[in-house]
Structure 1
């Protein structure tokens, strides 16, 4: 396979600026000429192997950061935005999007912000009965989308919060004792914890210092809610400092993000980074073994695996997604090249949709995306009982996957034939940006392709894709 040329001028320039070095000083430390550095920073030349080695040796730089930055996410997000019907006739080719993401990432983000504003306005106009006369009908991202993008572009890894959670859990000694420590930490703050038969998972009264945890919730959920409350109380300054750094546009987005950070702390305390990474590698990412060892749910374990991106100690880069029965993505994260659709549902050919048909079972899938990248996918339903007769059951399914190069590190890849191309099922991301011409599950035509309509013939689709 031919070597992949690395054009990461924006990342190289950002690294130099963080170090406070001029181009001349930076070039000297990397052992290259000033014109050569200038060409690399402007993506006129790829970053050479010697420069990559110098970055690692001179500055301790994690070179994997060069190839796993924001570029792929920006390209995926721009392709989906360009799939909007209003842009369909003027959408630039993929090569131009790649150049924009590499050379002008700030411009790409500005375009995505503008497109989100357009969609917000369009959706409000489509619901006049809700939008007319409201003073808050502004063209800004929804708070939920803003928070989702924050975690998305942080690689779903928040270093300061993750390390604080690891320090909190470190003296425990055994995974089962983290619950006791959480109750003890709350007790030291004068908070009394009680377990009640309530439909609410958690309720804290700051005036009385009473924290109620629902007995209807699963034990791992109870522990998680205890740790979440610990985060809100003991780590408030850290959470607020992180929120200041994010610069959210509204108080609502900031409030949502704070709960998200508290959730992050809870998961990281339940499954401390170093311990969990070592355990995951030891058991080859067996979700059930990890769930029992850490007193966590399958979903909690899968989500945590997708966050193991600490510089210098990264785990297998996974993607993680949760969908509801309608196929709507309710959680999404990818440390791989695969990026999820920002709007709409997941590709119907993913095995995650079949997980609802086989509750309690893990489904495996070898899959290939239109860009030729191959993945090992794992899917399972994670239905959540209401805890009482007649209480509604929330039904979800999760998918966890990684590129096939990491298959030897997964127990789920054992006995799968990775050598046969036909074993890999063709999947996509979103129909509008999927270039496959022969997909039997296509719902709308792909962008950048001409359609041929023959009134005298009909195949699987009512048109043929050129």
Structure 2
């Protein structure tokens, strides 16, 4: 089979501008003419083999990035936005969305920001929020969504923070990462203590005392220790990353700083190189990895989804956490599967069944409407309150990859991935799901005509044409 042509004009332009090169200088280093480079940057020509090799040799560029990046998730996000009834009369074809994501990613993101602002304003009005009468009712993303999208479009991998965390972890020695974190905080004149409290972590800056809850699991206390290390000893790095992100509000910046500190904590608890090697050795066995690194199952699953360092990538995973109502509370995908930005996950997905089988891993072979097949594992990760009568926080997580990688996972053992009958059909969002006979469909698909027959009733009150 011939290798597919790669059109990566936006990625080439981004690389050239990041290097501070003119088109003429960039063309010279790539060994092509200026007109040829111009055509590649405008997606009028595919990226040639000569250019691919030159990018790797001259700039150490991870050439796999040319065929990935933001394009697929932008297309997925735009498809979901176009599923909004406001666009129902004449939605653009999928080919146009792909062209926009490839040639004009900035325009695609601007459209998504505009649609999100529209949705939020519409929801305020629908709920009588009186937003139009408030001075702060600006047409901008909610801080939470803005931060979530920041990590989403970074592939959930923040190189500078990840490497800083790995460097910090290298000093742990035989005493372990928790003792190393305590020592680092003591070096800043901070006393670390535990208390019987529901507050996971409380830092008194004036008294220089960090108090951790004695009620939570040891891995949670270690994580909170490392988070405090990030906030105190990596503050300049975190602030520099926030400056580059250019968040629209102080609230978003504050949320993102906690998110980056969380990222540091996870990366220090499970350092990139050691964790990637252990993941491969254990064939991505979440329970064994949790034991090896003193982490929780959820922390391990989340960390696996971040292993996207250029030149040392792990398996591209998707990771999601849902509550009992099906609301997605965490999401990330390094695969072609992109989660709905609004609403919940497909009810046919095994992550919802995990609540019924606490403590057990569920496996599922699934196929999305685009024909891509996945291995998905799910498990409940409910979190006890720490004492009798305390409320239990109930969640379930799912981790998965394309079925081509199933042999590298212990969870793929014994599954016949060659038989298409073993794959369950799942979707992303009902409005953009093209399946015509789904018994769990909540709303009609946008791009299909409906047939209504008052004298006939099947599973649904309509038929999809």
CA distance in 2, matches of 1:302, 1:21: 39
1:69 and 2:69 matched = yes
- Structure 1 residue runs of 4 or more that deviate by more than 6 Å after TM superposition: none
Aligned to 1:315: 314
| Contact 2:62/2:310 (<8 A) preserved | yes
What are the Cα deviations for residues 186-239 of structure 1, in whole angstroms up to 9, with x where unaligned? 111121111111011111111111211111111100110111111111111111
SS at match of 2:252: helix
CA distance in 2, matches of 1:173, 1:408: 34
Shift, 1:2, TM fit:
5.5
Shift, 1:91, TM fit:
1.3
Aligned to 1:447: 446
SS at match of 2:176: helix
Aligned to 1:249: 248
Shift, 1:36, TM fit:
3.1
Aligned to 1:424: 423
CA distance in 2, matches of 1:76, 1:356: 28
Aligned to 1:404: 403
TM-score between both structures, scaled by the size of structure 2: 0.97
CA distance in 2, matches of 1:360, 1:2: 46
CA distance in 2, matches of 1:326, 1:213: 30
CA distance in 1, matches of 2:400, 2:96: 29
Aligned to 1:259: 258
Aligned to 2:189: 190
Deviates more, 1:15-24 or 1:78-87: 15-24
Mapping 1:67-466, distance limit 5 Å: 67-131=67-131, 133-174=133-174, 177-466=176-465
SS at match of 1:186: helix
What are the Cα deviations for residues 340-365 of structure 1, in whole angstroms up to 9, with x where unaligned? 10000001111000000000000011
Shift, 1:116, TM fit:
1.1
CA distance in 1, matches of 2:204, 2:59: 49
CA distance in 1, matches of 2:375, 2:387: 37
Q: How many residues align?
A: 465
| Contact 2:172/2:179 (<8 A) preserved | no
1:54 and 2:54 matched = yes
Structure 2 segments unaligned to the other structure (5+ residues)? none
Indicate how the Cα distance of structure 1 residues 352 and 30 shifts in structure 2: closer, same or farther if over 3 A, else same: same
Shift, 1:129, TM fit:
4.4
Shift, 1:130, TM fit:
4.6
Deviates more, 1:101-110 or 1:52-61: 52-61
Indicate how the Cα distance of structure 1 residues 284 and 435 shifts in structure 2: closer, same or farther if over 3 A, else same: same
CA distance in 2, matches of 1:2, 1:450: 37
Shift, 1:51, TM fit:
2.6
Aligned to 2:4: 4
SS at match of 2:331: strand
Shift, 1:22, TM fit:
3.4
Structure 1 segments unaligned to the other structure (5+ residues)? none
CA distance in 2, matches of 1:193, 1:23: 55
Deviates more, 1:322-331 or 1:42-51: 42-51
Shift, 1:33, TM fit:
3.7
Indicate how the Cα distance of structure 1 residues 38 and 148 shifts in structure 2: closer, same or farther if over 3 A, else same: same
SS at match of 2:366: strand
CA distance in 2, matches of 1:313, 1:386: 38
Shift, 1:20, TM fit:
3.2
TM-score between both structures, scaled by the size of structure 1: 0.97
Shift, 1:132, TM fit:
5.3
Shift, 1:99, TM fit:
0.3
SS at match of 2:203: strand
What are the Cα deviations for residues 231-255 of structure 1, in whole angstroms up to 9, with x where unaligned? 1111111111111111111110011
RMSD in angstroms over aligned alpha carbons?
1.4
SS at match of 2:170: helix
| Contact 2:171/2:180 (<8 A) preserved | no
Deviates more, 1:42-51 or 1:350-359: 42-51
Shift, 1:19, TM fit:
2.8
